[in-house]
Amino acid sequence: MRALFVYCLSLSASVWGQSSIVDAYVASESPIAKAGVLANIGPSGSKSAGAKAGVVIASPSTSDPNYLYTWTRDSSLVFKALIDQYTLGQDTTLRTEIDNFVSAEAAVQQVSNPSGTVSTGGLGEPKFNIDLSAFTGDWGRPQRDGPALRATALITYANWLIADGNTSYVSSTVWPIIKLDLGYVVTSWNQTGFDLWEEISSSSFFTTAVQHRSLREGATLASALGDQSLATQYRTQADNVLCFLQSYWNPTNFFMTSNTGGGRSGKDANTALASIHTFDPAAGCDAVTFQPCSDKALSSLKVYVDAFRSIYSVNSGIASNAAVATGRYPEDVYMGGNPWYLTTAAVAEQLYDAIIVWNRTGSIEVTSISLAFFQQFSSSVTVGVYASSTTTYSDLLAAVQTFADGFLAINAKYTPSGGGLAEQFSRSNGTALSAVDLTWSYAATLTAFGARAGVVSASWGASGLKVPSSCSTGPGGGGSTVSITFNEYATTVSGENIYLTGSIDALQDWSTSTALLLSADKYPTWSITLNLPASTSFQYKYIRKVNGTVTWESDPNRQFTTPASGSSVINDSWR
C-alpha cells in the first residue's frame, strides 16, 4: 500500500485546500443555485415572464441559443430535485410550486403536438412553448425519457402525499398524470427515439434506465392505490426493460455504450446521469441497475472522464488520476464542444452517491471490472472486499472523496463571480458560454451538493432485482431475436384501445391484464413493433379494452412464425 500512502501524502496540502474551496463553493453557490431555479419557474419567477404557473423555462436566453421553452425532461429533473427537498423536509415552502407543476403537466399532456395527441404518441414531444402551446418547428422527436422522468418526480410526491393522509388528491389528480406517462413507457420502451442531447435517434442507455425505474416504482404505487392489474403490467414490462438495459454493456472496453446509433464512441455523460437519477441507496452496489458504486458504473465513469483529459485545454497539466472538466461526449461540436457545468457536477454526484453506500455497508468491493477505477488511487490494490476496519478501505474512501471534490472545484473555478451558471464553459479558458442561467445547471449543482452532504431519497425498489431468464428485448438488444411489426386495422370508440397478447412470453402468455397496448399514431391502424425470438412459431390475438371491459376478436387464433433473421411486418384487420 506504499503507493497509495505516497499518493495521499503528496496530495495532502492540495487536498485540504481543495476541500476548503469546495466547502466555500457549496456555501456561496447553494442559495444562488436555488434562487436560479426558482427564478426560472412561472408565473412569478423573476426570469420567467410569460411562463404559465408551474412551467420551467430551460433558460431565459432567447438567442444563440434560444432556450425560452419548457422541456419535459429538464422540467421533470428540476422538479424531482424540488420535490425531494420538500418531501425530505429541507424546504417546506415549495408546496405551491409543486402543485402548480402538477397542474401544468396535466395540461400539457393534453396538448396536441407534432408527435401526436395524448393517446397517439404526443407524450413523447420533447418541448413546448412556455405558455404550454405546442412547439411546431423542426426538432428531434420523439424523445422517450420525458414521460418516465415526469412519472418519477410525481411518484415521489404521490408517495409523500399518501403517507401524509392525502390519498384522495393522489387518486383524483396526480395518479391520472402518472398513469398516462407510464402507459406511454409501456408501449414505447422498445422503440427508438432521440437521446437526451436530442441529436441521435437510436436506443439510449439513459432513457432505458429511467424508463425501468419509472415502471418499477409505478408498480408499487399502483398496488398501493389498489390497481393490481396495472401493477402487474408495469412489473412485466419493467422486467423486459431491465433485460434490455444489460445489452448496453461493452464487455471488451468495460463501459456502458450510451447510444446504439450515431457513429460515436458511446462514451457519454448519459451514463453518469443515468446512474445518479436511478440511485437507490437500498440497492447497494448492484450492477444490474447500474448503481453508482457498482463495478460497471465506476468503470464506465472512468472511461467517460478519461475521454476528456486530452481534448480540453482547461484540462492541460492535470494528473491522470485527478478530476477534469467533462462535457457531453468527446465528439461533441455543439457551440464548439465544451465542458458543461451539469455533466461535471454529475460525475461528482455519482462518486458522492457511491461513498454514501460504502459508508452504509461498511465495505468496498473491487472487482476485475472496477479494478482500473480503483488503481487510479492505489496501483497495488487488488480484487477483493475491503471492510471499513481496514486501512485500504479508509484510504480508498478518502481518495474517492478527494476525486469527487475535484469536479466541484473545477466548476467553482469556472463559475463567474456572481454565481450564475450557464450551460457550458469554454474548453480553452473556462469562460461561461451558451445559454445563461440554465435551470438544469442550477438543479444539478444542488443535487450534487446534497449528495456530498449525504442526502438520499427513498428507495424506489431496485434492491434484489434479478434479470429474468427470458424476456422481450428492445431494439438492437442482440441475441436471437427479430423485429416484428404488428399492424391491426380497427376502428374504435372514445376511450377504447387495441391490445395484443399471445402464446409466448414476449406476448404475455395470453394475459389480458398485461397485454401489450398498440399505438394509434396511424389510426385506424394500430401498431406495435417488438423484438421476438427468431425461428419461433406462436399464436396471437388482438383484444379491445374500454372501461375495464375486455373484448376478444373472433376465433380462430392467428398464427405466425418469425424468420431466422431480419424483420417482418404483419398486417391484420379486426374480426
Binding-site sequence positions for substrate: 139
Separation between Cα atoms, residue 450 and residue 445, nearest integer Å:
9
Is-cis flag, bond preceding 533, omega within 30? no
Burial tier of 21 (Cβ tally within 10 Å: 0-12, 13-18, 19+): middle
Residues linked to residue 424 through DSSP beta bridges, in sequence order: 340, 433
C-beta separation of 324 from 405 below 8 A = no
**Element (H or E) spanning 570, and its range?**
strand 567-573
Of 347, 316, 348, 337, whose CA–CA distance to 423 is shortest? Answer: 337
Helices 439-452 and 2-39 cross at an angle (nearest 10°) of 140
For the residues of 113-154, what is the DSSP string, one character each? BTTB-TTTTGGG--EE-TTSPBP-S------SSHHHHHHHHH
Output DSSP code: residue 94.
Answer: -
The count of other CB atoms within 10 Å of the CB of residue 469 is 7
C-beta separation of 105 from 89 below 8 A = no
Residues linked to residue 528 through DSSP beta bridges, in sequence order: 486
Q: Locate 456 and state its grid cell.
A: 438520499
CA 269 → CA 242, 327, 332, 344, distances in Å? 20, 7, 11, 9
Per the rule left: phi > 0, alpha: psi between -120 and 50, beta: everything else, 114 is: alpha
The 3-state DSSP class for residue 58 equals: coil
Q: Locate 18 and state its grid cell.
A: 481543495
Backbone φ and ψ of 62, nearest 5°: -115, 0
**Element (H or E) spanning 70, and its range?**
strand 70-71
Separation between Cα atoms, residue 46 and residue 349, nearest integer Å:
28
Separation between Cα atoms, residue 190 and residue 208, nearest integer Å:
9
Separation between Cα atoms, residue 159 and residue 113, nearest integer Å:
31
Task: List, by residue number, the catalytic residues.
Answer: 195, 198
C-beta separation of 527 from 188 below 8 A = no
CA 128 → CA 56, 58, 98, 137, distances in Å? 11, 11, 19, 10
CA 414 → CA 154, 336, 421, distances in Å? 34, 17, 9
Separation between Cα atoms, residue 291 and residue 279, nearest integer Å:
6
